[in-house]
Amino acid sequence: MKAKKKIEKIAILTGGGDCPGLNAVIRAVVKTAIFKHGLEVVGFLEGYLGMIKNMTRRLEAADASGILHQGGTILGTSNRDNPFRFPVMVRGKKTFRDVSGQAVKNLKRNKVDALIAVGGDGSLTIAHQFFEKDVPVVGIPKTIDNDLWGTDVTFGFDTALQTAMEAIDKIQTTAASHHRVMVVEVMGRYAGWIALESGLAGGGDVILIPEIPYNIERVCEVVRKRHHYGKRSSIVVVAEGAVPQKGEVVVQKLVEDSTDPVRLGGVGYKVGNEIEKRTGLETRVTVLGHIQRGGSPTVFDRVLATRFGSRAVDLVTQRKFGVMVCLRGLKIEDIALKSVQGDQRKVFPNGDLVKTARSIGVSFGD
Ligand code: F6P
């Protein structure tokens, strides 16, 4: 499917786990397409499933009104439904088929000239696979984890940080009242950005991230010392992907059809139980979970999502396909989808943020 000379109609879909700012990006795409370029816009529903099953919604300017501040996505999303590996039942047995041809047919059926795919690692990999099948596509990066290669920041991250920091603030007060150790488990599968930055902002005493394997005895030493000095409480912020020096990540379950099947969770309890057992100090665990993915986007996320969405439409009209919009410093740029595959943007263990945290006495349990 080659792009027509003149782009008249675009499609947008949101794929992967949701995050605050998706509606802001949809709004920016719809408004820029209609007001600036006079294009028509259609939305595919439920991520790539909508493309496979031809579930669409026409998007007028009015549909983009009043959604800027809303969490979630008006289009729905899914972190399963990969068109290149779609589960189908054959004689009662689940098998996987490439139904991408069907999805491309649905683009044509809807007279779509170009696709804007908003997603994380998995969804953007699929976007690139469609580009290799000659679909004119532009990607927009999103994830609360901020672990996408090729952009300095993804929208959704700042809101998740705000949520996590506010939770830590609240936990600080109850921790102090009871002389307790409080463990707060936050999201962050492969990268510890949420734990690191919310931990820094919330005054965490120990921050455990996937990039710096921890030793539980070191964590306990910090907690014991603080108790010895008369500190009323200790806060341990743990990324769900935190891993002990000798051990593995804590896997909660496998979601077979997902582009990334591993679901983590539970390391907070593992760490909390060990702390209580080894130090004798009363310990409680809070797992923030999907609260971090919800809510109204912050100013930063609304502005970034708006800039990404608007630029993506401009790129479509310039016929610049196979790229993802990105933030470099303060500027919105674009980068080939191909070059963002397979790599993750992780916390640099000797980087500035980690060093700053160590300078103020934060322990990484190493
Ligand atoms: O990648 C974003 C993310 O929120 C991760 O932080 C988390 O591990 C995962 O998605 C959870 O996925 P699900 O919504 O399928 O439980």
pLDDT digits (tens, 9 = 90+) for 5-24: 789 999 999 999 999 999 99
Quote the DSSP letter at residue 289. Answer: G
Task: Extract the tokens encoding 309.
Answer: 């969405």
196-to-146, 193, 217, 325, 350 alpha-carbon distances in Å? 12, 5, 20, 25, 13
254-to-114, 244, 263 alpha-carbon distances in Å? 34, 21, 6
Residue 108 has pLDDT above 90, yes or no: yes
Q: Which residues line ligand 1 (CB under 6 A)?
A: 17, 79, 120, 143-145, 187-189, 240, 263-264, 293
Give me the residue label for tokens 């470099």: 328
Question: What is the β-pairing status of strands 114-119 and 137-141?
Answer: parallel
| pLDDT given at position 12 | 98
| Distance from Cα 17 to the centre of ligand 1, integer Å | 6
Report the pLDDT averaged over residues 213-229.
97
Strand partners, 287: 185
Report the pLDDT averaged over residues 173-194.
96
Model confidence, pTM: 0.96
CA–CA separation, 292 and 296 (whole Å): 11
348-to-155, 205, 207, 218, 331 alpha-carbon distances in Å? 20, 19, 14, 21, 22
CA–CA separation, 240 and 267 (whole Å): 6
| pLDDT given at position 173 | 96
Q: 46-74: per-residue pLDDT in tens?
A: 999 999 999 999 999 999 999 999 999 99
Q: Give the list of residues 6+ apart from residue 356 with CB closer than 8 angstroms, or none.
A: 200
Residue 70: name the closest of 29, 23, 26 by CA: 23
| pLDDT given at position 3 | 63
Residue 16: name the closest of 77, 87, 100 by CA: 77
**Helix, strand, or coil here: 207?**
strand
Which of 73, 145, 154, 209 has the most ligand 1 atoms within 8 A of CB, as the residue to mutate? Answer: 145
* CA-proximal residue: ligand 1, atom 14 (nearest): 17
Residue percentage of the chain with pLDDT more than 70: 99
| pLDDT given at position 260 | 86
Taking phi over 0 as left and psi of -120 to 50 as alpha, with beta for the rest, 319 belongs to left
CA–CA separation, 215 and 219 (whole Å): 7
Q: 255-270: per-residue pLDDT in tens?
A: 988 888 999 999 999 9
Catalytic residue among 145, 147, 205, 301: 145
As a whole number of Å, the CA-based R_g of the chain is 22
CA–CA separation, 161 and 144 (whole Å): 8
Residue percentage of the chain with pLDDT more than 90: 94
Q: Taking all residues of the chain, what is their mean pLDDT, rounded to a whole number?
A: 96
Report the pLDDT averaged over residues 99-120.
97
| pLDDT given at position 4 | 66
| pLDDT given at position 5 | 72
* CA-proximal residue: ligand 1, atom 10 (nearest): 17
Give me the residue label for tokens 């790129």: 315
Active site residue 18: no
Strand partners, 138: 116, 323
Report the pLDDT averaged over residues 306-327.
98
- For the chain, the distance separating the N- and C-terminal CA atoms, rounded to the nearest angstrom, is 52
- The residue among 4 and 206 whose pLDDT is bigger is 206
Residue 317 has pLDDT above 90, yes or no: yes
Report the pLDDT averaged over residues 340-349.
93
Residue 331 has pLDDT above 80, yes or no: yes
Residue 2 has pLDDT above 70, yes or no: no
| Distance from Cα 346 to the centre of ligand 1, integer Å | 16
